[in-house]
Amino acid sequence: MRYLVPIPYSPFALVLLLLWRWNADRFIVMGYNYHVGHCLESVLLSLKRAKVLKKLRSAHGRTDLTVEVAGDEVPAVAYEAIVGEVDAGDEVVVNTVAVDLGLGSGGNHFVLWNLKKEQVTVDGPGHIMKLRYTPLQFACLAVEEEESPYHEGMMSEIRLDGMPVVVGTLHSQLAPAAATLKFVEPGLNVAYIMTDGAALPLALSDTVAQLKEKKLINTTITCGNAYGGDLEAINIFSALVAARVAAKADVTIVTMGPGIVGTDTPLGFTAMEQGQVVNAVFSLQGRPVAVPRISFKDKRLRHYGLSHHTLMALAIAAQAPCAITLPEMSPEKFDEVMTRVDRTNLRTRHKILSIKNDITKKALTKFGLKVSTMGRGFDEDPEFFLAAGAAAVYALELVKGVADER
């Protein structure tokens, strides 16, 4: 039997069909012919039955599992906010498309439904919807809502009062920036805002869990359709104000979660949001400090030296000025970076600084943080992590009021 599935807004509409008619042997999505759990032509969505073999870890709203899919034992993740509790022996439906496509953000299947349950109810306050207009939409208490204890402050304040904001493009820039800040000033109040440019659940990030445990970030804020932070915000503007008003942050770090989306086109990547965040910080009278994406180990020409992500985000999307902090490096590497800078308007629009950074490596060692980006660690690709730390060094100078000496 075949079913035609209309999807006016989201492929999640397939969930309803699969839950009600799981025995249907085939369905059609957007012109592609599918078997249940098997795509004949091109994988757009892949949902399969699985059996939970082991419950490995459950913390921060996320449960790590080993499941059996078609005879193979593979890792899977379940989010309590979506599917409730999952235990060994449960039959579940998993989304396998990222693994099937071999994406960089793959490696895990994701539990969509526990077939043992007739219903799932997750109680809590709030009326603002995340994952809106999909079958997985759920409510949360946003910091802007009347029921929020921070509502009055959010009503009366729309300025950052000069708060430095470190604006990154990759989730792997978070740890070196946060570690550098706390290494120099342990008492600093640091907020982290996770945007919805990549992973939506904060719980996916082991980095955030580790930084929170080590008290290297004090408050997490998730904005847009990202969710799971200590505070929820509707957009980046209110998230920034919440960092100042609710979290009482001295410095805020903004990056997307794990799993950036990118192509080889000039504008087709979610790191373009860096320029938009710079605009938001500046318009709210904060001081944006942009982390440049620098690598001399990336074999892709567009990311070698200074990544085209940085160039496009700060030359096109960023209409407001910011500081761009380059770590001190060898003359040859510095010339490579500046050659790319000079192909754009970055010099005229922004303040480009060379920052001595002998702090970040010490900080990562002290706090026991093993960092990596695209599979490369600090020793293999040091300039990447030093660039994030350099932004933190400059943010500290802004806090101390000595940055104007540069």
- Report d(CA 117, CA 350) in Å as an integer: 55
Q: What is the pLDDT of residue 249?
A: 98
The answer to whether residue 135 sits within a structural domain is no
Domain shared by 20 and 62, yes or no? no
Residue 133 lies in a domain: no
**Domain assignment present for 140:** no
- Do 68 and 176 sit in the same domain of this protein? no
- Residue 73 structural domain: 47-118
**Per-residue pLDDT, 44:** 84
* 212 and 301 inside one domain: yes
Residue 70 sits in the same domain as residue 34: no
| pLDDT, tens digit only, all 406 positions of the chain | 333 333 333 334 344 334 434 443 333 333 333 334 443 456 788 999 999 999 999 988 899 999 999 999 999 999 988 898 999 999 999 999 888 888 765 678 999 999 999 888 888 899 999 999 998 999 999 999 999 999 999 999 899 999 999 999 999 999 999 999 999 999 999 999 999 999 999 999 999 999 999 999 999 999 999 999 999 999 999 999 999 999 999 999 999 999 999 888 999 999 999 999 999 999 999 999 999 999 999 888 888 889 999 999 999 999 999 999 999 999 999 999 999 999 988 999 999 999 999 999 999 999 999 999 988 999 999 999 999 999 999 999 999 998 765 6
pLDDT of residue 211: 98
Nearest to 357 by CA among 388, 323, 381: 388
Q: Which of 10, 30, 45 lies at the terminal end of a domain, its last residue?
A: 45
Residues 33, 52, single domain; the answer is no
Distance CA 138, CA 129 (A): 5
Same domain, 99 and 174: no
Q: Of 118, 136, 168, which residue is a domain's last? A: 118
Gap between the Cα atoms of 353 and 34, Å rounded: 53
Residue 323 falls inside a structural domain? yes
Question: Do 28 and 113 belong together in one domain?
Answer: no
For the chain, the domain total comes to: 3
pLDDT of residue 345: 86
Query: 206 and 353 in one domain?
Result: yes
Q: Does 108 reside within a domain?
A: yes
CATH number at residue 77: 2.40.50.220
What CATH code is carried by the domain that includes residue 292? 3.40.50
pLDDT of residue 406: 60
Residues 41 and 55 reside in one and the same domain = no
Q: What is the pLDDT of residue 405?
A: 57
Do 157 and 104 fall within a single domain?
no
Residues 395, 295: one domain?
Answer: yes
Same domain? For 84 and 229 the reply is no
Q: Residue 219: inside a domain, yes or no?
A: yes
Other beta carbons less than 10 A from residue 392's beta carbon: 34
Which pLDDT value is given to residue 106? 62
Residue 286: inside a domain, yes or no? yes
Picking from 93, 118, 143, the residue at the C-terminal end of a domain is: 118
Is 123 a member of any domain?
no
